[in-house]
Chain A
Amino acid sequence: MWIIEFLKKALEGRGFYPNLMVILSWSYTVVVVGILLCQLFLYLLGIKYNNDAFGKETSEKKKEQ
C-alpha cells in the first residue's frame, strides 16, 4: 500500500512521541470531520438541536452592548 510506504518513509527515525502525535492527530481529525458531516446532515434534514442556550451567550452580549 502506498500510504504505508509513505508513512514508513516519513516517520522513520522521528521518535516515539512525534509518531504518536501524527497517528492521534490524524485519527481525531477524521472523527471531528465525521462530527461536522453528521451535523451538516442533520441540518439538511431539518432536525432541531434541542439546546436553546447554544449561541445565546453571543447574542445576549451583543444586545447588552
Chain B
Amino acid sequence: MTNLSNHQLFTLMFIFEVGSTTLFALGINAKQDAWIVILIALLIGLVFVWIYTELQNAFPDKNYAEIIIAILGKFFGIPLILFYILDCLWHTARNLREFGELINLTTLPETPLWIILSLFLSVSVYTLLKGVETLARASEIIFPILIIFMLSIYILIYISGDVDFKKLTPVLGNGIKPILQTLPSVVMFPFGEIFIFLMYWHYSNDKNSVRKTTVKAVLYSGMLLCFSLIMDITVLGPKFTSIATIPFVETLRLINIGNIITNIDIIGIIIIFFGGFFKMSIYLYAIITMLTTVFKIKNYKSTLILFSTFLLWFSVAFEPSYAYHIWMFPFDVHYFTIIYSNIFPFLLLMIYWIKKKRAKL
C-alpha cells in the first residue's frame, strides 16, 4: 500500500508549483506590477486550495476519479474523468515539450527534439514504474538542492550589481486594469494546477494535515515565484522580461562576479529541469491512475508504458513550434484549463453539499 508522509507531499507540491513556472514571466502583461498579480493570485489560489481539500476531506480514502464518480454517478462522472484525462494530457505534453525545447535552445541545439524528449520521458517512466513513493523520496532529495540553488542565484545576482529596484516603479503606474486582466491566468497557472494532488492526497499517512501541508507548499512556492519575478524585472526590466524567450535564463547569464563566477546558466538549466521532471511525472501518474480507475485496468505498468509512448509522439506532433507553444498561453487557461482546475472542483463541491443535505432530510 502506498503511503506518503507530510514532508513528501510538501516537497512534491512545492516542486510541482515551482516546476515550469520559472521559465515564464508570470503576469508580465501587468509590466512592473507583475509581482502584485502573483500575490493576489496566491491569495485566490489559497481559497481554491480550501475547495480542493474540502473535497478530499469529504472522501478521505478516494482519489479524484473516485470522488467524481461518488458525487456525479457513473453516467455523468465517467465522461468528466475522460475529459480530465484529455486536460492532463494537454498539460503533460506541454510540460514535456517546453523542457525539451529548453534543452534544445540552451544546451543541445543540434540534437533532435524527440531524442531529448524520449530520454526525459524514459527517466520519468522508470521512476513511476518503481512507484509514486520513489518519486516522493526523490523530491525530498531534490527539494533542498532547488532551494539552495534559487537562493544563491538571488544572492549572486545582487552581488553582480545588476539589480535595480527602481525598475519596479511606478507601482500601479498603469492602474489596476492590467492586473485584473492578467489575474485569471496566474490563478490557474500555477496555483490552480494543485488540483492534480486530489489524485495523491489519499495516499497521505496523516490525512488531517493535508490542508495545512498544501497551504504551506502553495504559500512558500508563491512567495518564491514572486521573488523570482521581482529579480527578473529588477535585472532585465519589464520590457525585456516580457519579450525574452526564457527570462530566468537571461537573468542567470548576467551573473558575473569578478570574471570568476560566471556562465552558470547551464547549472541553472539542469536545476530548473528537475522542476519540469517532477511536474510532468506528477501529471503522468495522475493520468495513469485515472485511466486504471475508470477502465478498471489491473496492469498499471503496461498502461504507463503504452501511454508514455503515445505521449512521446503527441508532445512532438501537437505543437508545430516553440513560438506556437508560447502563443497558446494564456489562451489555454482562459478557454479550457481553468474549467478543470477551478470551475469543476467548485461545482462538484456544491453538488456534494446539496446531496449531503438531501441525504439527511
Contact = CB atoms under 8 A, between A and B. Distances in A.
Interface string A1-19: 0000000001000110110
Interface residues of A, number: 35
A20 B83 CA distance: 11
B357 A43 contact: yes
A35 B60 contact: no
Contact of B335 (A10, A46, A47, A50): A10
A62 B244 CA distance: 51
B359 A25 contact: no
B90 A48 contact: no
Interface in B195-240: 207-208
A43 B336 contact: no
Contacts of A22: 335-336
Contacts of B352: 55
B347 A15 contact: no
Interface stretch (B72-80, B171-179, B252-260, B261-269): B72-80
A58 B56 CA distance: 10
Interface residues of B, number: 40
B358 A18 contact: no
Contacts of B58: 55, 57-58
A48 B358 contact: yes
B80 to A, nearest CB: 6
Given A18-B328, A39-B354, A46-B361, A32 B344 contact: yes
Given A40-B354, A43-B354, A43-B357, A33 B347 contact: yes
A11 B72 CA distance: 30
B80 A32 contact: yes
A25 B61 contact: no
Contacts of B335: 10, 18, 21-22, 25
Contact of A24 (B59, B72, B86): B86
Contact of B339 (A26, A35, A42): A26
Contact of A48 (B57, B72, B336, B361): B361
Given A21-B87, A26-B339, 10 more contacts: A21-B336, A31-B76, A35-B72, A39-B351, A43-B354, A49-B355, A49-B361, A55-B356, A57-B61, A58-B57
Interface of B: 57-61, 70, 72, 76, 79-80, 83, 86-87, 90, 207-208, 318-319, 328, 331-332, 335-336, 339-340, 343-344, 347-348, 350-352, 354-361
29 contacts: A14-B328, A17-B318, A18-B332, A18-B335, A20-B86, A21-B86, A21-B87, A21-B335, A25-B83, A25-B339, A29-B343, A29-B344, A29-B347, A32-B76, A32-B80, A36-B347, A36-B350, A39-B358, A43-B361, A49-B361, A54-B356, A55-B58, A55-B355, A55-B356, A57-B58, A57-B60, A58-B59, A61-B207, A65-B208
